[in-house]
A and B are shown apart, each in its own frame.
Chain A
């Protein structure tokens, strides 16, 4: 028995030691807060060292170079790199990727995370390879970029382009020469293997993988040339990387910026930054992560490690938690004077504090990822589609009203058992190019679409798939041909808008809703309840709006009456104070009288 116990202890100790040994050099943390100098051997994707004098030098690989000291496999499970994985919890809905095709009047929210209202890439006919081509510009690599292509033709192209490994430098490279726009350019050229090197500021990359023949042979043909800059290598052939353990805001902003299109480009400088950024707080002060790169998303949680990393966790005292979590970084605790507590049960913090002050209609916004903002040079784009509306004040899945961004899906699909399956835009074009490609002046950025075009396209799609029921979804409606062959439309769950929380562009307290009193929201025409959100559609003449109150699940008439009653609120206060004053005086007067009577009675008793 004793021997068995000793053996077990020995095995456990050995296992523990081997686990400690397996930990890579850069993955430990002995508590020293200084940043180690990153003077590294550059390794190519095969793990071979790259030297200063190499002829036909290869691009360095972050997987092997950074992987010398960091557990690349552990990092692959991180939030940014696991969008394709079913085993990673999808968590709260977020900004999707949007498959946009102006010719087929398509805008489909796409996400591998399975958020309700989005479609997985495979559902819209995108392979992993297609996905990276579509969305690779604002993308830190990994995930779909590292999936081996199944399609033989795509496998050949992937062999030429390489896999889009996690570009650690996209977030951690503090060198001011780091150029995320160049990484996007490499992605546009399908130079995935070269993206990290080209954007790092340490090498020049010439050539375009997408332009190379599928028969390209790197041994014989001239392909893509990598030239490391002079002085990059030291005398030991090591390369210095200025690495920031906590990514700098500018690196986050490349993919996570937003633009309010109501502000003219020339006035962009007038737009305020998020109050936290303006106060010197960095993105990673709240969006923290460990080695697993599971970045805290600011969601309220009971996990003590991340409980303080949400608006409420940071700004509001949580009773019963020890040690106290709130007040991080000097976060002020709001008094919320005069605001009934029911507001905090019915609304998120973002409803009053995020985005722009609500106006009569929600504005059109662009986001860096969806509209490819921040590119400069030849590949700069000025996309207007898809249409994103914000801030939209609606009730989220948590039952609270919050500030959201919204997109109305538009796409061709087949309908079976009330389930909608999108038809990839390429197939739609193949079937109805002559119908949909009519030259017409764009209306509201859309190529206009008529009912006739929809009907004709549906007929074409039906001809191609006689067993299927083709439909078109746009503007919250599902269009289909009825039994008589006429176009009919009706609301359908799949046509509903997809929305995701806006948690940034936080306004300071003095600019938040309610600061001027109840009338900021509780008036008969307040944008908070009665602001309009355009029901976006390419259909001509179909300009509709939905009011915020509807999106909040509130009866409009009731809300109008409720808000209208606030007109009498001052009168109520006057009457109540007047009534209380009179009652108080009566109580005081008769109370004093009673005291006098008692005093008199006592005096008589004494006599």
Chain B
């Protein structure tokens, strides 16, 4: 059941992104995007960050993103292949889970203020909506900062049940029925988190790409 739901949900989200990126083109250049991000990270590692808090935030973002993808792969690939999370996959999953939680905490603390909804977010959505009439295939709500902010808060909220469902199952508080409930909760939260994260990263990439284009054209 969960496997079928997961396959359907991932397929739907990926198809949506594919269709969206075709319909609402934003001039995305993958190679340029990748090079710029690597350069950013490299610069950060060489001490180019404006301050150490910024450095930690960016590092937490990349470490969190990496651990998220590893958790996504180890958590869902065995399941989608008809198996279950066990053995080396499980070890990898359990090893990176605390890294991910730690990074998530840093990102939420570091980004909460920045990702607060503002009045200008509404204005930006309105502006995008208007611009849609002039450039119908270039601008959409996904390109707004509000989309990324919504993703941020949703992910922050999902992190709690996602993490607690697994950590609480490691305590002698829940019996077999409780364990089953927590396991199901973890799975569905993980699915919701993964889908939200993919969509948020997509929105973030579009936003970053737009900024890259603006900077390079100036």
User: Could you tell me if A565 and B91 are in contact, using CB atoms closer than 8 angstroms?
Assistant: yes
How many B residues have CB within 8 A of the partner chain? 39
Q: Is the CB of A594 within 8 A of B101?
A: no
Our pick among A337, A575, A587 for the contact of B102 (Cβ within 8 Å) is A575
Closest partner residue, chain B, to A517 (CB atom): B172
9 additional A-B pairs beyond A336-B179, A579-B104, A587-B160, beta carbons within 8 Å, are A336-B175, A340-B183, A344-B176, A576-B167, A579-B163, A580-B159, A583-B104, A587-B108, A587-B156
* Chain A hits for B170, CB < 8 A: 338, 569, 572-573
Check B65 for interface membership: any CB of A closer than 8 A: no
Q: List 17 A-B contacts (CB under 8 A).
A: A337-B174, A338-B170, A339-B176, A339-B179, A340-B183, A558-B87, A561-B91, A562-B90, A572-B98, A572-B170, A575-B102, A576-B163, A579-B159, A586-B112, A586-B156, A587-B108, A587-B156
> Within the complex, what minimum Cβ distance (angstroms) separates B60 from chain A?
11
B98 to A571, Cβ gap below 8 A? yes
Instruction: Say whether B32 faces chain A, with CB atoms less than 8 Å apart.
Output: no
Q: Does B73 contact A (CB under 8 A)?
A: no
Give the A-B pair count, Cβ closer than 8 A: 100
- A576 contacts which chain B residues (CB < 8 A)? 97-98, 101, 163-164, 166-167
Q: How far is the CA of A143 from the CA of B56 in the complex (A)?
A: 79
B167 to chain A, nearest CB (A): 4
A580: chain B residues within 8 A (beta carbon):
101, 105, 159-160, 163-164, 167
CB distance from A559 to the nearest CB of B (A): 10
Q: Does A578 make an interface contact (CB < 8 A)?
A: yes
Is A565's CB under 8 angstroms from B94's CB? yes
Determine whether the beta carbon of B163 is less than 8 Å from that of A340.
no
A490 CB–B CB distance under 8 Å: no
Task: Please pick, from A335, A571, A572, the residue contacting B175 in the complex, using a CB distance under 8 A.
Answer: A335
**Interface membership of chain B positions 146-162, coded 1 if the CB is closer than 8 angstroms to chain A and 0 otherwise:** 00000001001101100
Please tell me if the beta carbons of A577 and B167 are within 8 angstroms of each other in the complex.
yes
Instruction: Indicate whether B117 reaches chain A with its CB closer than 8 angstroms.
Output: yes
Contact of A586 among B108, B167, B171, B174 (CB under 8 A): B108
Q: B103: shortest Cβ distance to chain A, in Å?
A: 9
Beta-carbon contact of A586 and B109 below 8 Å: yes
Contacts of B156 in A (CB 8 A): 583, 586-587
Whether B112 pairs with A594 at a CB distance below 8 angstroms is: no
Q: Which of A332-391 contact B (CB under 8 A)?
A: 334-342, 344
Q: Which residues of A contact B178 (CB under 8 A)?
A: 337
> Using Cβ atoms and an 8 Å threshold, which residues of chain B touch A572?
94, 97-98, 167, 170
B105, A578: Cβ atoms closer than 8 Å: yes
In the complex, whether A590 has a CB less than 8 A from a CB of chain B is yes
0/1 interface trace, chain B 65-100, chain A, CB 8 Å (1 if under): 000000000000000000000111011001101100
Residue B135 CB within 8 A of the other chain: no
Min CB–CB distance A528 → chain B (angstroms): 17
- In Å, the complex CA distance between A517 and B172 comes to 8
Q: Which residue of A lies closest to B86 (CB)?
A: A342
B180 interface residue per 8 A CB criterion: yes
The answer on a CB contact under 8 Å between A573 and B167 is: yes
With a cutoff of 8 Å between Cβ atoms, the chain B residues found around residue A565 in the complex are 91, 94-95
Complex Cα distance, B186 from A340, in Å, reads: 13
Instruction: For the complex, count residues of A whose C-beta is within 8 A of B.
Output: 34
- Is B48's beta carbon under 8 Å from chain A? no
Report whether B108 and A583 are in contact in the complex, using a CB–CB cutoff of 8 Å.
yes
- Report yes or no: B176 in contact with A336, Cβ–Cβ below 8 A: yes
Query: Chain B contact residues: over half helix, strand or loop, or mixed?
Result: helix
Residues of chain B contacted by A575 (CB below 8 angstroms): 98, 101-102
Q: Which residue of B lies closest to A597 (CB)?
A: B117
Answer yes or no: A89 CB below 8 A from chain B CBs: no
A341 to B108, CA, bound (A): 32
Question: In this assembly, does A509 line the interface, its C-beta being within 8 Å of a C-beta of chain B?
Answer: no
Let me know if B116 is at the binding interface, CB within 8 A.
yes
Q: Does B213 contact A (CB under 8 A)?
A: no
CA distance A514 to B199 in the complex (A): 42
Closest 5 CB pairs of A and B: A338-B172, A335-B175, A579-B101, A579-B105, A575-B98
Chain B residue nearest to A341 (CB atoms) is: B179
The answer to whether A341 touches B180, judged by C-beta atoms less than 8 angstroms apart, is: yes
Question: A369 to nearest B CB, angstroms?
Answer: 36
Q: Is A493 an interface residue (CB 8 A)?
A: no
A8 at the interface (CB under 8 A from B): no
Indicate with 1 or 0, residue by residue over B104-147, a CB within 8 angstroms of chain A CB atoms.
11001100100011000000000000000000000000000000
Within 8 A of B (CB), among A537-592: 558, 561-562, 565, 569, 571-573, 575-580, 582-584, 586-587, 589-590
Identify the interface centre among B88, B156, B170, B180: most chain A CB within 10 Å of its CB: B170
Q: Do A590 and B116 touch across chains, with their CB atoms under 8 A apart?
A: yes
Most buried by A among B98, B117, B157, B183: B98
Chain B residue contacts of A344, Cβ below 8 A: 176
Chain A hits for B216, CB < 8 A: none
B21 at the interface (CB under 8 A from A): no
Q: A572-B98, A579-B104 are in contact. Are A587 and B163 (CB under 8 A)?
A: no
**CA distance in complex: A75, B176 (Å):** 42
Contact B102 A579 (CB under 8 A): yes
Q: How far is the CB of B90 from chain A (nearest CB, A)?
A: 8
* Chain A minimum-CB-distance residue to B113: A590
Is B173 positioned at the interface, with any CB of A under 8 Å from its CB? yes
Q: Which residues of chain A come closer than 8 Å to B196, judged between CB atoms?
A: none
Q: A573 — which chain B residues lie within 8 A by C-beta?
A: 167, 170-171
Judged by a CB distance under 8 angstroms, whether A38 is at the interface is no
Binary CB contact string for chain A from 5 to 37 against chain B (1 if under 8 A, 0 otherwise): 000000000000000000000000000000000
Task: Check if B6 is an interface residue, CB within 8 A of chain A.
Answer: no
1/0 contact string of A303-341 vs chain B (CB within 8 Å): 000000000000000000000000000000011111111
Q: Which of B159, B179, B183 gathers the greatest number of chain A CB atoms within 10 Å?
A: B179
A147–B93 Cα distance when bound, in Å, is: 62
Contacts of B183 in A (CB 8 A): 340-341
Which B residues touch A341, using CB under 8 A? 176, 179-180, 183
For residue B84, give the distance in angstroms from its CB to the closest CB of chain A: 8
Task: Say if the beta carbon of A427 comes within 8 Å of chain B.
Answer: no
With A and B bound together, what is the CA distance between A561 and B95 in angstroms? 12
Q: Known A576-B101, A576-B167; judge A582-B109 contact (CB<8 A).
A: yes
Q: Do B163 and A338 have beta carbons less than 8 Å apart?
A: no
Q: How far is the CB of B85 from chain A (nearest CB, A)?
A: 9
Judge if B207 is at the interface, Cβ distance under 8 Å.
no
Q: How distant is A314 from chain B, measured CB to nearest CB, in Å? A: 16
Within 8 A of B (CB), among A71-102: none
- Quote the shortest CB–CB distance from B81 to chain A (angstroms): 18
Is A48 an interface residue when CB atoms closer than 8 A count as contact?
no
Residue of B nearest to A565 (CB): B91
Determine the distance from Cα of A422 to Cα of B117 in the docked complex, in whole angstroms.
83
A339: which B residues are within 8 A, CB to CB?
176, 179
Shortest CB distance A408–B (Å):
30
A271 at interface, CB cutoff 8 A? no
Chain A residues contacting B87 (CB-CB under 8 Å) are 558
